[in-house]
Amino acid sequence: MPFHTHTLPNGLRVIAETSPSARSAALGFFVRTGSRDETGPESGVSHFLEHMLFKGTPRRTALDVNLDFDRIGASYNAYTSEENTVYYAAVLPEYLPKAVDILADILRPSLRQEDFDTEKQVILEEIGMYDDQPGWAASDHARRIYYGPHPLGHSVLGSKESITALARDQMHAYFSRRYSPTNIVVSAAGNLDFGHLVGLVSEACGGWERVEAGRPDRSEWAGVGGLHVLTREKVQQEHVMLLAGGPPADSPLRYAADTLALAVGDDSGSRLYWALVDPGLAESADCSFYEQDGSGCVYTSYSCEPDEAEGNLAIVRNVLAEVQRDGITEAELRQAKSKILSRVVRGSERPMGRMQAIAAAWAYTGEYRDVDTELANFDAVSPSDIRAFLDRYPIDRSTVIAFGPAKALDGVEGKPV
């Protein structure tokens, strides 16, 4: 499928993978900003701002935004992560001009004080709601502890204290600093004409003021180390996470990291599955690789009855030590590749999947990777690549965080949270 790219005079980049045989088109505005780009007093502002972009513009009320999307039958939404805030829609090809108009419009919001005050209460309720979900709370605490002073440890939601103290003018200053056209990629995929798309985006966004927005701290991080026990008695299960350093998103080792993590901790047929889940020692066990800007992370986790947590930790540590020493077998490598290749192919069959994939690759590397190239990169992973990854990023050199009712684990006393 042909790939196209164009940069507007103000620095906004437009990329697309066109497929005339597709029955739909997907469009996304990827803003390269997230919780890692916030200062302490701004904690949570990226996610809060995502909400505010749907509250109205000089041209549209909040109701108009939703009605206009609904009138064209769009599947639309937004999300915020540590590194990106993304606004997207999937539509029939004839409605792409309207989708560009709506998305571009909301990216220049009114940010009215009354809307800010109302939505602040929604955000505070959302923080409380997520904090009541043990899996989410455990992961949020784990990132905070693992990354310590590194900005990747910033909470996406922020805290009740930071959101309560946040002022509308702080949000506006953050928006002005981060939502520059130089910090945004417009990505599209499916049945569309690229020249027409560039014209639509130029008309809607060409007048946006250019501001240089950087990301100075892109250092690699290997964690603070140690075992950290966080006690919350009302939680039923113990959630234990082992975080280790990994390659950044633009490293060739990312393919080996992703493949190894799947072999170690996929939800079926992996080392951790046979060691913990199949014998009934844990409800779930997982190992995943998270690629990020400048620094990656291998995230191993399991959840189980509190009485099983300590024994299971010894099992997981043994599994990781064996993998670190011996790598994985040829059979495990083949099986992991098959699963990944299937995942890549299935994700590429919808314009939405390709729109997301090309935007992510472009944001992290400035390169385009078609499906065949991505498949070839994973298929080429060899035992020597796995060894090179393990030598550079030891999988058993972990920061361990336990979250749940346990008052102590492996001789370490818990701290109430």
Q: Tell me the catalytic residues.
A: 50
320 φ, ψ (degrees, to nearest 5): -65, -40
Q: Give CA–CA dist 213/127, Å, rounded.
A: 28
Q: Is 172 exposed, middle or buried (0-12, 13-18, 19+ CB in 10 A)?
A: middle
303 φ, ψ (degrees, to nearest 5): -130, 140
Angle, CA of 221, 222 and 226, to the nearest 5°: 135
Determine the distance from the C-alpha atom of residue 412 to the mean position of all C-alpha atoms in its chain, rounded to a whole number: 31
Neighbours of 97 (CB within 10 A): 17
Amino acid at 35: S
Structure tokens, 71: 């009138």
Which residues fall within 8 angstroms of residue 347, CB to CB, at 6 or more apart? Answer: 353, 354, 357
Amino acid at 259: T
Percent helix, percent strand, percent coil in the chain, to nearest 5: 50, 20, 35
The helix/strand/coil state of 29 is strand
**Of 311, 201, 300, residue with least CA distance to 257:** 300
Position of tokens 């944001």? 363
Which residues fall within 8 angstroms of residue 269, CB to CB, at 6 or more apart? Answer: 335
DSSP H or E segment with residue 65: helix 62-71
Q: Give CA–CA dist 9/19, Å, rounded.
A: 27
| Residue 220 vs residues 90, 166, 349, 366: alpha-carbon distances, Å | 35, 30, 34, 19
